[in-house]
Chain A
Amino acid sequence: MSDAIRTSKELVVDPYSIPLDGNFNVAQSHLFEQNAHWAYFERLRKEAPVHFCEESEFGPYWSITRFEDIMQVDTNHKVFSSEGGITLGDQDEDFTLPMFIAMDPPKHDDQRKVVSPVVAPINLVKLESTIRARAANLLDALPVGEEIDWVDRISIELTTQMLATLFDFPFEQRRKLTRWSDVATANLEQGIIESEDQRREELIECLTTFTEIFKERQQTPGDNDLITMLAHGETTKDMLERPMEFLGNLILLIVGGNDTTRNSISGGILALNQHPDEYQKLRENPGLIASMVPEIIRWQTPLAHMRRRALEDTVIGGKTIKKGDKVVMWYVSGNRDESAIETPDKFIIDRAKPRQHLSFGFGIHRCMGNRLAEMQLRIVWEEILKRFDTVEVVGAPAYIRSPFVKGYAHLPVVLHKK
């Protein structure tokens, strides 16, 4: 596999040693894999907060790196369109998956409205005891005092169980959901898939599986699951006639509920290990979990960016963005912008306004599952604190090789009992 033979790491160039011109490119996967992107963004924020990169593997694009400028782009959906894709890379032209995150109003609004009630707070209340019981089971089964991979044992397993619950997906086959999520977002150099053909093949299998479930739920509606909602929603009940749209929305829900929460669960462990004083504060006052959860989501920023395309010439931060240009909002940078957030590089579990971060985006595309994500993190931390004095990180984390999904492939830990 390409991943296996990629043994030498690419050299990371000091961002202050190169000219800040049109070749300055922060969208390089290896920077994220080596956790070396921070200084690039710091320089951009200070010296060129709205910056045009003329050439990259994704073509030319603008980087927006300050909190306020990102807010301005994110809230102006009339000028900054989501049609055609919301990540740096364009979709495979022969295999385009329409999904509402990558649509503009009114279609976006119609489709989002159908599925958003499933993650409405009133429904989350019903899910809480299930999530807690599953988290407790997982944590109780973990070996104490020996090295384990937190990512695989907890972060992936817990989010996958949650997804299976939301879809009412066959529980014993739940790791298929993880696989489809990984396949959908992987770039070829990660080694998760060998080719675009393989990606298509596996995603078609996802479509086939869910088509069967959809047909079942048309006949026999489930209690409150996402597929039942799609199968009976006014604007989505005929979605099987538009299979690519069905698949697109499935992938959106699978990826949206998977990578992001997974990497925030891992990120919280790493953040507390890097800030032992905060870990001590938490042990002494578990009530701080409420403000720690949004702080984890800010500190981790599990999606590094969202992309838009300008529908007309417009000025942001004094720079003229031309109609048709790609515009990348680097949430990962805005969340570390000291003009908006005090001592942003520090992880502080009792910040004054912890929910004022960019990780969920703002405006009409704001994360639909934000409350679900927060609830999952809250429960997992409540259950961790009941059982373990410390979840100790015992080795270097392996970071994901992507400028989009910002997270961890592995995180070695040892558990210490309370």
Chain B
Amino acid sequence: MTTVTFVQFSGETKTVDGDNGDSVMKIALDNLVPGIDADCGGECSCATCHVLIESEWMSRVGTADDQENAMLDLNPDREPNSRLSCQIAVTDELNGLVVNLPEFQY
């Protein structure tokens, strides 16, 4: 079990539990966290599960691969800490992860 905290653009936070191996996107959807559309269902092909990783977690979360980079590039609001939440599987190491939601999904 791993907890993930989602910070809405409004500042509102919600901390929820997820199973190891699940993606941050799935954890958000399972817990009805608003702000994640996930149009493609987790295939890294729509970029509507965009999150901004809280800086202290950046190194543990790691960087996007080529495919994810290509999709993130479609988003004019991309930031250095942008990731697609469908591509982050939670582990014990990510217990307590904090991610910020953008104002809009594209």
**Residues of chain A having any CB pair with chain B under 8 Å:** 71, 74-75, 77, 105, 109, 112-113, 116-117, 120-122, 353, 355-356, 360, 362-364, 366, 368, 370-371
Contacts and interface: CB of A to CB of B under 8 A. Distances in A.
A75 B45 contact: yes
Given A71-B45, A121-B103, A122-B103, A105 B76 contact: no
B45 A363 contact: yes
19 contacts: A71-B40, A71-B43, A74-B45, A75-B44, A77-B70, A112-B74, A113-B73, A116-B76, A120-B77, A355-B37, A356-B39, A360-B39, A362-B45, A362-B46, A363-B45, A366-B45, A366-B46, A366-B74, A371-B104
A362 B71 CA distance: 10
B106 A371 contact: yes
A75 B43 contact: yes
B34 interface: no
B62 interface: no
Q: Which of B76, B104, B105 has the most CB of A within 10 A?
A: B76
Main secondary structure of the interface of B (DSSP, over half): loop
Contacts of A353: 41
A370 B76 CA distance: 15
A109 B73 contact: yes
B76 A113 contact: yes
A116 B106 CA distance: 10
Contacts of B73: 109, 113, 364
Contacts of B105: 121
Given A120-B106, A363-B71, 9 more contacts: A74-B45, A75-B45, A109-B70, A116-B76, A117-B76, A120-B76, A121-B104, A122-B104, A364-B71
Interface centre among B46, B48, B73 (most CB of A within 10 A): B46
Contacts of B46: 360, 362, 366
Nearest to A362: B45
A203 B67 CA distance: 36
A388 B104 CA distance: 32
Interface string B41-73: 101111110000000000000000001001101
B70 A362 contact: no
* Most chain B C-beta atoms within 10 Å of own C-beta, residue among A112, A117, A122, A364: A364
A88 to B, nearest CB: 23
B106 to A, nearest CB: 7
B81 to A, nearest CB: 19
Contact of A364 (B37, B70, B103): B70
B40 A356 contact: yes
Given A113-B76, A366-B74, A120 B104 contact: yes
Contacts of B70: 77, 105, 109, 364
B106 A121 contact: yes
A362 B46 CA distance: 6
Interface in B69-104: 70-71, 73-74, 76-77, 103-104
Nearest to B78: A113
A368 B106 CA distance: 8
For B37, B40, B104, B105, the residue with the greatest tally of chain A CB atoms inside 10 Å of its CB is B40
A364 B67 CA distance: 9
Nearest to B44: A75
Of B44, B47, B71, B74, chain A has the most CB atoms within 10 Å of the CB of B74
Contacts of A370: 106
Contacts of A362: 40, 43, 45-46
A121 B38 CA distance: 16
A283 to B, nearest CB: 27
B74 A356 contact: no
Nearest to A125: B104
Nearest to A370: B106
A74 B44 CA distance: 12
A112 B76 CA distance: 10
Nearest to A366: B46
Contacts of B45: 71, 74-75, 362-363, 366
Most chain A CB atoms below 10 A, which of B37, B45, B105: B45
Nearest to A119: B106
A291 to B, nearest CB: 12
A120 B50 CA distance: 14
B7 to A, nearest CB: 19
A355 B103 contact: no
Contacts of B41: 353, 356
Contacts of A363: 45, 71
Contacts of A364: 70-71, 73-74
Contacts of A74: 45
B87 to A, nearest CB: 13
A309 to B, nearest CB: 19
A224 to B, nearest CB: 13
